[in-house]
Chain A
Amino acid sequence: MTQIQQVRKGSTPLLILSVLSTEKMYGYQIMRELEQRSAGYFTMTAALLYPALHQLEADGLAESEWQDNPGKRRRKYYTITSKGRKALTDSKAEWQTFLTNLFKTLKPSGKVQENGS
């Protein structure tokens, strides 16, 4: 697995919580919403999504309820909990700090540019 793939996999809970922070959704809906929001960049298989959803539930970051879907199978809707909202805020801040510092470090410094010019 490449480093970028690892980062993408690591960001799965954050992405799911972010989608759930707007409204309660069922698994398939979450998958399509993620795809749409990221213009197809963040796609994941159901084999990755559902265990991640169940893990969020086990950690108390999301909760679920079954709802009838007339003439069809029932759907399991997920909602973010207050603990999940806090985790989302903290996680967003951490990613923000990480990405700011990453790009700051990657950007050539003024001194290097001066020497190079």
Chain B
Amino acid sequence: MAEINLNCKGLQCPGPIMQIFKATKEAQAGDVINVKVTDRGFAKDIQAWCKKTGNELLDLNETDTEITAKILKK
């Protein structure tokens, strides 16, 4: 199982979701994608996106300056 690290800080439009979408397409089931983001809308977006796509959101952490998420490709 591979771990893929994405730095999406500073990305807004197109935003981090596009990068994650690409990365999960290329990843194998069971791979984990770690992503760092500064776009505040991301926290809501990633939850909705995982629900829609069936990938699992293992972790979501928000600080004042950064949001990190861990996604398991299903």
A and B are interacting partners? no
Q: Give the A-binding residues of B (Cβ under 8 A).
A: none
Q: Give the B-binding residues of A (Cβ under 8 A).
A: none
